[in-house]
């Protein structure tokens, strides 16, 4: 469970080891030597209390050194690109993550966070020559004044002649513009390190992992360190078998730390500025308790998979660490994948992760619409269920590997990073993913997923016949979110015949209707509801109708909401239009062999809330439906139908009669012909014209009635053949003559 922590002032985060220190750890692993209890540990973290003992100087590209008390830091030539202010000050150490301080501390601050050459720290500690374990952390402050922090990691320094020598690794990936991202927010401006002596840790090793843990927090009856190492090795084996490329990309042994102070987090994965290959995992010491053996296994699998995912992330370690840039980049997809992997760690197809169950309410959030890192994580925990269904549909774990290869391939893209776009590319297209999303959501809402341990999710909206005879249930759905609506006849209905209908047109929304007699199911599918086609049914007390609503809009950036309004009421209440009062006077008749219907404020009134005309006398084939604003009685929407039964056209207006909302036109076979959005008479939003085969012909975007963004023309196969970029109606790029001929008059 990755975590970026932003606090006022400086925070602390890992500053990891170099290749030389990795080799030193590997040597320890091969000899099986545990760290001696009386060895000193240096904790490098940010203290709260400052000391007056300090020094500061400018280090130019030729290099230099800085000393305070017993501490000296040496910067070799080419450590910095330009003259950089470096400070070193003595600190009063603080207890952090259960590590007890045992002496003075020092803070090293560099105004340039890009250290291009390995620096050397020397601290006089006295005593015999030996190897000393050192806990290290760092702070990085970005240009937007946010900071990034993770708990400290532990490395090994060497004492010779009473002097401890420790390498400070260079930044693996110094700031540079990232493809598809703004460069400014990716530039860190300050880096700080603080260190002091502590003690009381041991280490154990396995084939690929190095575990450090504090003495005294682990029970004696169970070998928890070995359980942790075994779980990590199992994750290594399983991900290798799945084909993930990481064996040659990590610095082995991979480091694991058992620490206190992680709060409710079972564990977390951290990325040091020295590079993704030096990642490590902090494990909450609360897991080292009886009954937590299963959690140890799922947690280590979850976190190690995060570390592997970071290798597939096309961004630099610095970009991933930046809280601003990390907000929505592969976070929910990483959590969904890692939660899915937990069941693989247990070899238990019936396993359900607790975080999936506790985040069931995230189904109503679009997959790309989280507004904070925590919310995005929670969306990912729930979306693990969707990922599980997609993997099962493919029938192979190769689906998960393909997914992360799709993430990695975005490194060459030019439209920004997106978890959802990676998922679309893996499935095949946005249309295909949308169809699978609807199928999954419908099964999830009706508890027919086939996963026995999944509970029936609660309804987002409930309607009770005893409370009101009819209702228009309105909800907003962002792309790849869903809603569950439950209509309960908990009393004798006011009419034996009711109507249910969708009152809002949208090519992106799907409404599936089910019938049952209990909120816990079972529910029987009655098919889909279509805008403009009310469905009539007989009811009795105890009946329940469930509507599963999904939004499958695959238009980037996948955040624009669509409005769904579902109507339910007695047959004589208008089922075509919003806000028609139940007191409206209903009248009908037949003229020249065709039926008509009106809903008026009073008998004989020349005003009406809604009208419907039909091709036939039985009112079975609608021809045109007009909905009026209930206050002004001016036209609110106008819908026409083909005589063959299909929807032909929909247009919407504001109270002044100007186009407002989505306008749609369909071919007679139901294929969407065109879509355009109006905002009080001005084109505003996406514009689309499709060919009869469903492939796009033209696409573009308007803002304030002017062309803004890319306008594209396609051939019969749906391949782009002309691209013209506009800003405020002015052509910015593209062949001028061709762009004028196609889009000039629009």
Residue ranges of the chain whose pLDDT lies below 50: 1-52, 177-186, 220
Tell me whether residue 42 is in a domain.
Answer: yes
pLDDT reported for residue 185: 40
Q: What is the pLDDT of residues 535-557, one digit of tens each?
A: 999 999 999 999 999 999 998 88
Question: Which one of 150, 169, 203 terminates a domain?
Answer: 203
Do residues 28 and 176 both lie within one domain?
yes
pLDDT reported for residue 373: 86
Tell me whether residue 582 is in a domain.
Answer: no
Tell me whether residue 734 is in a domain.
Answer: yes
Whole-angstrom Cα Rg for the chain? 32
pLDDT reported for residue 28: 36
Tell me whether residue 467 is in a domain.
Answer: no
Q: Compute the Cα dihedral for 524, 526, 530, 536 and give only its sign.
A: negative
Tell me whether residue 114 is in a domain.
Answer: yes
pLDDT reported for residue 739: 96
Q: Which pTM was predicted?
A: 0.84
Q: What CA–CA distance (Å, rounded) separates 516 from 543?
A: 6
Domain range for 729: 646-746
pLDDT reported for residue 221: 56
Q: What is the pLDDT of residues 105-152, one digit of tens each?
A: 778 888 877 888 999 988 888 889 987 777 777 778 877 777 877 667
Name which of 462, 483, 488, 485 is nearest 544 in CA terms. 488
Pairing of strands 524-529, 509-516: antiparallel
Q: Report DSSP letters for 135-154, one per residue.
A: EE--EEEETTS-EE----EE
Tell me whether residue 183 is in a domain.
Answer: yes
Do residues 48 and 193 both lie within one domain?
yes
Angstrom CA distances, 437 to 243, 383, 427, 515, 639, stand at 27, 11, 11, 21, 29
Name which of 227, 236, 213 is nearest 37 in CA terms. 213
CB 59 within 8 A of CB 86: yes
Average pLDDT across the chain, whole number: 86
Question: Which one of 400, 428, 456 terminates a domain?
Answer: 428
Ranges of H-type helices in 679-746: 736-743
Q: Please enumerate in sequence order all residues whose Cβ is within 8 A of that of 103, keeping only pairs 6 or more positions apart, or say none.
A: 40, 93, 196, 197
pLDDT reported for residue 178: 45
Residues in the chain, how many?
746
Tell me whether residue 274 is in a domain.
Answer: no
Question: Which one of 142, 171, 203 terminates a domain?
Answer: 203
Contacts of 220-225 with C-beta under 8 Å, sequence gap 24+, read 221/290, 222/290, 222/293, 224/258, 224/287, 224/288, 224/296, 225/258
pLDDT reported for residue 32: 39
The 10 Å CB-count burial string (b at 16+, else e) for 53-72 is: ebeeeebebeebbbebbbbb
Tell me whether residue 539 is in a domain.
Answer: no
Cis upstream peptide for 557 (omega within 30°): yes
CB 120 within 8 A of CB 167: yes
**Percent of the chain beyond pLDDT 70?**
86
Name which of 407, 172, 423 is nearest 277 in CA terms. 172
CATH number at 94 reads 2.60.220
Q: Residue 267 CB: number of other CB atoms within 10 A?
A: 25
pLDDT reported for residue 100: 60
Q: Compute the Cα dihedral for 592, 597, 601, 603 and give only its sign.
A: positive
Q: Compute the Cα dihedral for 384, 388, 393, 396 and give only its sign.
A: positive
For the chain, the domain total comes to 3
pLDDT reported for residue 102: 56
pLDDT reported for residue 33: 41
């Amino acid at each position: 469970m990755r975590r970026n922590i932003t606090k006022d002032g400086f925070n602390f985060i890992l500053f990891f080891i170099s290749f030389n220190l990795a080799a030193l750890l590997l040597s320890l692993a091969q000899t099986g030597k545990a760290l001696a209890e009386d060895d000193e540990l240096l904790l490098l973290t940010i203290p709260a209390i400052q000391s007056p003992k300090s020094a500061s100087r400018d280090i130019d590209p030729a290099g230099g050194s800085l000393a305070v008390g017993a501490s000296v830091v040496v910067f070799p030539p080419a450590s910095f690109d330009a003259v950089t202010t470096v400070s070193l000050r003595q600190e009063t150490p603080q207890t952090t993550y259960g590590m007890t301080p045992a002496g003075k501390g020092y803070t090293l601050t560099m105004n340039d966070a890009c250290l291009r050459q390995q620096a050397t720290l020397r601290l006089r500690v006295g005593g015999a020559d030996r190897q000393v374990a050192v806990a290290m952390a760092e702070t990085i402050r970005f240009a937007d004044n946010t900071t990034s922090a993770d708990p400290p990691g532990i490395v090994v320094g060497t004492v010779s002649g009473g002097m401890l020598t420790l390498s400070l690794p260079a930044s693996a990936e110094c700031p540079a513009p990232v493809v598809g991202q703004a460069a400014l927010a990716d530039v860190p401006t300050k880096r700080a390190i603080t260190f002091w002596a502590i003690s009381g840790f041991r280490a154990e090793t396995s084939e690929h992992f190095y575990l450090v843990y504090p003495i005294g927090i682990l029970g004696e009856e169970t070998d928890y360190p070995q359980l942790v190492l075994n779980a990590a090795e199992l994750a290594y084996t399983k991900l290798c078998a799945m084909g993930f490329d990481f064996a040659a990309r990590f610095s082995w042994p991979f480091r694991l730390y058992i620490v206190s102070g992680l709060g409710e987090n079972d564990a977390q994965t951290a990325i040091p500025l020295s590079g993704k290959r030096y990642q490590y995992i902090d494990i909450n010491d609360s897991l080292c308790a009886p009954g937590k053996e299963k959690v140890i296994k799922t947690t280590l699998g979850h976190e190690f998979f995060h570390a592997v995912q970071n290798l597939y992330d096309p961004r630099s370690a610095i970009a991933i660490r930046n809280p601003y840039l990390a907000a929505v980049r592969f976070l929910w997809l990483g959590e969904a994948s890692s939660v899915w992997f937990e069941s693989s760690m247990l070899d238990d197809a019936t396993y359900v992760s607790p975080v999936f169950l506790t985040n069931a309410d995230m189904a109503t959030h679009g997959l790309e619409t989280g507004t904070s890192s925590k919310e995005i994580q929670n969306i990912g925990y729930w979306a693990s269920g969707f990922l599980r269904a997609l993997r099962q549909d493919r029938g192979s774990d190769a689906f998960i590997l393909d997914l992360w290869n799709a993430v990695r391939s975005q490194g060459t893209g030019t439209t920004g990073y997106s978890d959802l776009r990676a998922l679309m590319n893996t499935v095949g297209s946005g249309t295909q993913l949308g169809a699978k999303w609807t199928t999954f959501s419908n099964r999830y809402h009706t508890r027919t997923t086939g996963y026995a341990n999944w509970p029936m999710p609660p309804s987002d909206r409930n309607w009770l016949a005893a409370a009101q005879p009819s209702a228009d249930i309105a909800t907003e759905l962002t792309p790849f979110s869903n809603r569950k609506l439950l209509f309960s006849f908990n009393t004798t209905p006011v009419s034996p015949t009711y109507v249910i209908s969708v009152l809002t047109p949208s090519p992106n929304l799907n409404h599936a209707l089910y019938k049952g007699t209990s909120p816990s199911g079972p529910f029987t599918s009655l098919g889909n509801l279509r805008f403009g086609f009310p469905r009539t049914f007989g009811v009795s007390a105890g009946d329940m109708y469930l509507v599963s609503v999904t939004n499958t809009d695959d238009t980037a950036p996948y955040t624009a909401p669509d409005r769904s309004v579902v109507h339910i009421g007695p047959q004589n209440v208008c089922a075509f239009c919003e806000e028609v009062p139940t007191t409206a006077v209903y009248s009908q008749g037949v003229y020249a062999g065709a039926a008509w219907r009106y809903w008026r404020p009073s008998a004989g009134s020349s005003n009406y809330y809604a009208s419907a005309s039909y091709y036939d006398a039985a009112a079975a084939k609608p021809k045109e439906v007009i909905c009026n604003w209930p206050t002004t009685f001016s036209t609110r929407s106008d819908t026409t139908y083909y005589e063959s039964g299909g929807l032909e056209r929909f247009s919407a207006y504001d109270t002044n009669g100007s186009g407002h909302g989505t306008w749609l036109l369909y071919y007679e076979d139901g294929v969407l012909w065109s879509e355009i959005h109006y905002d009080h008479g001005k084109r505003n939003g996406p514009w689309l014209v499709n060919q009869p085969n469903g492939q796009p012909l033209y696409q573009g975007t308007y803002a304030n009635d002017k062309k803004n963004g890319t306008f594209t023309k396609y051939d019969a196969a749906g391949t782009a053949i002309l691209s013209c970029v506009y800003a405020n109606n002015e052509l910015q790029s593209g062949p001028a003559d061709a762009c004028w001929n196609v889009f000039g008059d629009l």
